[in-house]
């Protein structure tokens, strides 16, 4: 008995793979990243010119400013070495008052007195010349001249007073009184200039700058231009 095997028939339909384009995803499209806001720098003001002018100052002038205030401090430090002191073992009941006064009027280490006076003079002249050279840039003269000169003058005054009441036993010689007067006068002048430029001159420039920034606001098609401050630079953007 013959057994017939089932006949396999081929299908006329061919398998077609899904039409998927390369590089595309079947998932939903991702939201597009919003474009960057267009910014533009506001109008130049005097305050911005001062900030930008800090980079235009010659490095030599910056070094000269630091050197001038340092020489001024060096003069303050050398002055106490010229103070004369009347030794206690030389003072007795028979000592004449005129002798005491004559001893305190004498100057010890006269060459050091000339060096200290010369150093202070060079420092003051250097500060004055640099102030005149950059007098229109209030920020530079405040940070480079007035503030360092004020701090050095106060340090010199404190050093002089400490030397008088420690090494000189509170005896005010002529050079000690002159040094106190000079350092106190320099401290007062530097403090006055610092406060005047920082609290009056620079403040007026900042107020004018803020006013000019407000005046540069404009209304556009998309809305109002908003002024922003970032890293010391004022920029504007539309909202």
Q: Which helix (H) or strand (E) holds 229?
A: strand 225-230
CA–chain centroid gap for 160, Å, is 28
Question: In angstroms, rounded to a whole number, what is the distance separating the alpha carbons of residues 62 and 145?
Answer: 10
Q: What is the pLDDT along the chain (239 residues), one digit of tens a residue?
A: 454 555 555 555 555 555 555 555 545 555 666 554 544 545 678 888 898 889 899 999 999 999 999 999 999 999 888 777 655 554 454 445 555 555 555 667 778 888 999 999 999 999 999 999 999 999 999 999 999 999 999 999 999 999 888 877 777 878 888 889 999 999 999 999 999 999 999 999 998 888 887 777 544 444 444 444 444 445 555 44
| Rounded CA separation 116/110 (Å) | 10
CB neighbours of 147 closer than 8 A, spacing ≥ 6?
194
CA distances in angstroms from 77 to 72, 114, 120, 144, 157, listed in the order given: 9, 13, 10, 21, 9
Domain boundaries, the chain: 46-51+58-215
Q: How far apart are CA 20 and CA 156, in angstroms?
A: 84
Q: CA–CA separation, 3 vs 164, rounded Å?
A: 134
């Amino acid at each position: 008995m013959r057994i017939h095997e089932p006949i396999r028939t081929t299908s006329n339909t061919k398998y077609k793979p899904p039409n998927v384009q390369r590089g595309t995803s079947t998932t939903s499209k991702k939201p597009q990243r919003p474009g960057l806001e267009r910014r533009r720098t506001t109008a130049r003001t005097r305050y911005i010119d001062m900030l930008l002018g800090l980079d235009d100052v010659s490095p030599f002038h910056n070094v000269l400013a630091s050197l001038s205030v340092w020489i001024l401090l060096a003069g303050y430090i050398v002055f106490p070495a010229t103070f004369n002191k009347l030794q206690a073992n030389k003072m007795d009941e028979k000592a004449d008052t005129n002798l005491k006064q004559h001893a305190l009027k004498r100057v010890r280490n006269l060459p050091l007195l000339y060096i200290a006076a010369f150093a202070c003079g060079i420092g003051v002249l250097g500060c004055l010349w640099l102030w005149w050279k950059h007098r229109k840039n209030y920020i530079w003269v405040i940070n480079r001249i007035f503030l360092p000169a004020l701090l050095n003058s106060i340090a010199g005054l404190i050093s002089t007073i400490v030397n008088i009441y420690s090494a000189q036993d509170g005896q005010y010689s002529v050079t000690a009184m002159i040094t106190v007067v000079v350092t106190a006068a320099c401290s007062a002048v530097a403090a006055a200039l610092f406060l005047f430029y920082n609290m009056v001159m620079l403040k007026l420039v900042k107020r004018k700058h803020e006013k000019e920034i407000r005046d540069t606001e404009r209304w556009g098609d998309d809305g109002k231009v908003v002024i922003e401050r970032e890293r010391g630079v004022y920029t504007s953007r539309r909202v």
